[in-house]
Every structure is written in structure tokens, then in C-alpha cells.
Amino acid sequence: MTAQCLEEREDRQNRNYNDMDKYRDIYFIGIGGIGMSAIARYCLAKGYRVSGYDRTPSELTRQLESEGIAVHYEDNTDFIPKDPGSTMVVYTPAIPHDMEELEYVREHGYKVVKRSRILGEISAGQRCLAVAGTHGKTTTSTLLAHIFRSSGEGCSAFLGGISKNYDTNLLIGNNDIIVAEADEFDRSFLQLHPEIAVITAMDADHLDIYSDIEHVRAAFREFASQVSGTLIIKLGLDITTEDTGAKILRYSYNNPEADYYASELEHDMCGYFTFTLNTPSGKIEDCRCGIPGWVNVENSIAAAAVALTYGITPEKIKEALASFQGVKRRFDIHLNTASCSYIDDYAHHPAEIATAISSIREMFPGRRLTAVFQPHLYTRTRDFAEEFAQALSSVDKLILLDIYPAREEPIPGVSSEMIFDKVSGPEKVLIARDRLMDFLENEPVDVLVTFGAGDIDRFTRPITELLEERIGKK
């Protein structure tokens, strides 16, 4: 039976299940993923025995182990709890379908469900506030959760990144509010039925799943149809009342045609903005975004729109915006001085990279910008080589690394050179990942940004230490 047939059979078997209480053990295949680890933490907090597999150790898996979750790093069925009747197995679709452990649990009578099914199960019957979009959703959902937590309202939250305010991707509240990042990969977000939702962007992405942009848009329209209360969408997105029964409101960075937008925008020399938030019910003046960059003002407007729709007071929202510290690896500033600045960003789609570069240019006008980019996935590189090259041509120097394959096997003829050859910027170099630190040793740096969703984050600490040492020598 093919992997697609197996997944379709599991979907049919699990379509209306509500039986997590039947199980004692929950075993995660791919437990180190950001979404999987949040659910694993939630299950542990709810009293389940939790364990799992991941391919390689990481800071996140080390944290899970320190919290009492057993994690192993070899494809070995000996680690799977042996009673199928009391064990639920959760897997991420990023796992290869022929992985030995996944084949074993499918063949031995275990309850096997995708990660998205569990999130849908957890949120069922609760008031779900969901943030969807091909980019911007992690920062927006994390900020929304922070607004609810800091306002005293509280919430549970399943986040696609590590909140710097709380040092976790999971919050557990004492009410029925769930804030969820609604991931479009593998159509996972269609398991959610939110009361209030945001759609930040509907760009072409995950074309290995969707084939083309029209199928991406169709999936977002289906998600919109599942929103029961209010749908808040970025101005310009093609979602109409024909697509959803929810009330539609629109937001924008600074376009007064939107229901929510910023005006009286000012920023300091480090890129932190103050602004007036315009809403259908009035103005909230002197808002300050706790993280820099114009794109985060836009994310703040989307999160504030949800909170206002729910009923959080403007004063509480204003306080939360100012105290928000951001998300690790989302426009994450590790060093910021007049002579040397370093930002790490998870951006791995051309639109995300172009937006981040625009924000950095506005923060640091006139300074020399060097970007390190690690492409993520062969399919994404193949599908968007031209767009990546166009976005990256706007930096002063590009350092391009080889492709991080993640779940994919190599595709003949697809490499980082597809991007490199099309880049028209003033300086560019193509190097292997393991040469990066040696290369940076002799590279002058004014403003440096690292981009990518692979393992480029392993370099953030050594790069920061290198640049701090260099500054200390001056």
C-alpha cells in the first residue's frame, strides 16, 4: 500500500475520533519538530507517558529530555511502547513513509495519527484562535498568545517557534482559549475550526504538496470556510464572503483602506517603531512594538485585531505589544552596535526574505548588508530559484550555502547554483556549509543576516561569539 493510501486510510479511521483518554502512552515519531514538541509537552502536562524518536539531537530535544520525555535518535522499534491497545502513535508527515518505526506501528495495530489530527482533537470544543499564512504566522500567533497571557485573560498556545518571553513553544492556561499556529503544510490547518482566525499571506509554497498557487489558495479558502466567527485577513488577499460565513475584517501595515492599520509611524535608530493603531472602534495612540522592523508592526496589528475582536482592552493590548520580546529565529537580533550588527531569521521563502531585507534596510540605512542563505528543500529551490535570486540580489554581499534537504532526497540537476547563477547583486560567493566559519573569520561585517529553515541556526552562537570577539579587539 502506498504512503498516500495509508494516510488516507488513517484519515478515514480517525475522522471523528475523540478517544485520547483511552491511551496511557503517547509515542511521537519526529518529536523534535517545533509543532510535535509542543504537543508532546502538552501531553506530558496532561499526565500521559510521553516518549519519541527524532533523527538528530538538538537544543529542543535536550530540553524535552530534561523535562522527563525519553527521546532516542535511531530508527529502532525496541523503543516503542509494546502495548498497542494503550499506545497512541503521533507522526509528522515530514517523516519518510518507509521509516522502520512508522511501518512497524502501522502493521501492529497501534492507533496512528498525524500531528495535525491531535491538534484538531485538542482544540475541538474549545475556543480556538488560529493564525494561518505562508509567512508571518509564528510571530503573530506568539504575540497573540502573549497578549492573552500578559492581559490576565490567559490561554493555552501551540506555537511554531520558541517564545522569548516564556522560553517555550507551549503555554497552558486555565480557560478554554487555545491560540494555535495553523500550518498549511500537508493541509494540516484544515483540522482546525477556529472562532477567530487570521490569514497573513497566501503565497505559493509547499508546491510538492499543492502543485500550484491555485491549490494553495483553494486550501486557504477551505480554511476560511471553517471559521465560525471573525476572519481577519491581510488587505489584498483574495478571500470574500463567498468563501466563508465569518465576518471579514482586513488589516494592513499602513493602508487606511484596511479596518486595522498603523499611522503616525516613527522609528528610532535601532528600528523600534511607535505608531497609532487605527481600528473600527477608534485609535490606540502611542503604541510601541517590542521588537524592531516594520514587518513586526504589521504582525502586531494582526494580533491586536484578534485580541480586540475577542474583547481584550486597548490598554492591555498596548502594554503587551511593548513587552513582547519576539520569537527565537524570527528577526532575532544577536548583536546590535554602531559598527557591527547580526540578525538571524528563519525566512526560507522568497517573500519572507524580501520582507526581512526591506525591514533591515529601513533599520540600518546606508550600512553594508551581508546575507548568508541556506536554501531549504530541493523542491523549494527548484520551484523558486528565480524568486530567491531576485530577493537576494538586493543585499550588498550574498554568501550562499548548499541546500538543506530535510525530508527530501536529492533531485538531479537541482542545487544552490540554480539560485547563485541568477543573483545579480554586487558580490556573491557559493561555499559549502562546513566552510562558513572559516570564511567569516576574514570577512568584514557591518550588518550580517543569516537566513534559512535548516540547520543554519547551529551557527548563530559561533557567529555571535566571533563578531563579539572582533569588536572587543578594536
Mean pLDDT of 349-377: 94
Band of pLDDT at residue 12, cut at 50, 70 and 90: very low
Instruction: Judge whether residue 353 has pLDDT over 60.
Output: yes
Band of pLDDT at residue 5, cut at 50, 70 and 90: very low
Per-residue model confidence as pLDDT tens digits over 191-215: 999 999 999 999 877 667 788 889 9
Band of pLDDT at residue 95, cut at 50, 70 and 90: confident
Mean pLDDT of 50-62: 94
Residue 209: predicted pLDDT? 75
Nearest to 156 by CA among 136, 134, 173: 173
Asked if 330 and 139 count as a contact pair (C-beta separation under 8 A), the reply is yes
Residue 207: predicted pLDDT? 67
Please state which CATH number belongs to domain 125-323.
3.40.1190.10
SS3 125: coil
Burial class of residue 23 (count of CB atoms within 10 Å of its CB; 0-12, 13-18, 19+): buried
CATH fold, domain 3-115, is: Rossmann fold (3.40.50)
CATH of 332-473, one of 3.40.50.2300, 3.90.190.20, 2.60.200.30, 3.10.620.30: 3.90.190.20
What are the backbone dihedrals phi and psi of residue 419, each rounded to the nearest 5 degrees, phi first?
-80, -50
pTM: 0.86
Residues with Cβ within 8 Å of 334's Cβ and at least 6 positions away in sequence, in order, are 342, 343, 344, 460, 463, 464
Q: How far is C-alpha 95 from the geometric centre of its chain's CA atoms?
A: 18
Burial class of residue 199 (count of CB atoms within 10 Å of its CB; 0-12, 13-18, 19+): buried
Nearest to 261 by CA among 237, 284, 279, 281: 279
Instruction: Judge whether residue 394 has pLDDT over 80.
Output: yes
Per-residue model confidence as pLDDT tens digits over 162-195: 999 999 999 999 999 999 999 988 888 999 999 9
What would the grid cell of residue 69 be?
520525555
Residue 2: predicted pLDDT? 43
Going across the sheet that includes 332-336, the strands are 332-336, 341-345, 447-451, 369-373, 397-400, 427-430
Q: Where are the domains of the chain?
A: 3-115, 125-323, 332-473
The amino acid occupying position 14 is: N
500531528: which residue's cell?
115
Instruction: Judge whether residue 4 has pLDDT over 50.
Output: no
Band of pLDDT at residue 269, cut at 50, 70 and 90: confident
Q: Percent of the chain, pLDDT > 70?
A: 95
Q: Percent of the chain, pLDDT > 90?
A: 84
SS3 64: helix
Mean pLDDT score across all residues of the chain: 93
The residue with greater pLDDT, 206 or 65, is 65
Give the CA radius of gyration of the chain. Answer: 22
What would the grid cell of residue 436 be?
562558513
Instruction: Judge whether residue 19 has pLDDT over 90.
Output: no
DSSP at 401: P
Instruction: Judge whether residue 293 has pLDDT over 70.
Output: yes
Per-residue model confidence as pLDDT tens digits over 231-248: 999 999 999 999 999 999
Per-residue model confidence as pLDDT tens digits over 412-446: 999 999 999 999 999 999 999 999 999 999 999 99
